[in-house]
Structure 1
Amino acid sequence: MDRDLMHELAWQITGLPVPAQQDEADFAAALHRVETFLAEYRHVPDPKAGDAYEARLGSWLDAERAADEHGALSQKRRERIQQVVGPEWRAAG
């Protein structure tokens, strides 16, 4: 199913638009921020953290996890996240 059709069907079913995918540069920058965070703090960012920066990174990972669960995350991006975060990126934040 092509992306435009998927967005149209999602809108028809839920009445809500499907959020646009990040472009490659934005994705790479976000993943780099997660990688830097992991190197410094030695844990996966928590979306419920009291620190706003960690919470944003954790929320980004949650969004990527949700996209993957709905078949909207490319295999390339899934593999890149797993290379940086490890298999625990699939665990709920």
Structure 2
Amino acid sequence: MSDITAADVEHLASLARIDLTEDEVSRMAEQLVTIQHMIEKVREVASPDVPPASHPLVMPNTFRPDEPGAVLERDAALEGAPDRDETRFRVTAILGEEQ
């Protein structure tokens, strides 16, 4: 695998429409090469009998049953509203005329 060059970084930045200075391009290229070498070191010790993991410890996800609970009544929800219009929250318009 070849190292990432400044030209590669510039090409990717243009595809992502990111403006980078020359200093940023050179620093990014150096950092990506370092990351690339670290990945190669991991590949050297990785073995097929060890499955890839995102965390060194097994962390099962704990789910709870999705059961309906008590519903908040409209009046109770609107009670603390700073401004309301009988059955709705009243908020400042954020869209311009073009919407």
TM-score category, normalised to shorter length: under 0.3
Q: Which structure would you say has the larger RCO, counting Cα contacts within 8 Å and 6 or more residues apart?
A: 1
**Which structure: greater helix fraction?**
1
**Which structure: greater strand fraction?**
2
TM-score normalized by the length of structure 1:
0.27
Larger Rg: 2
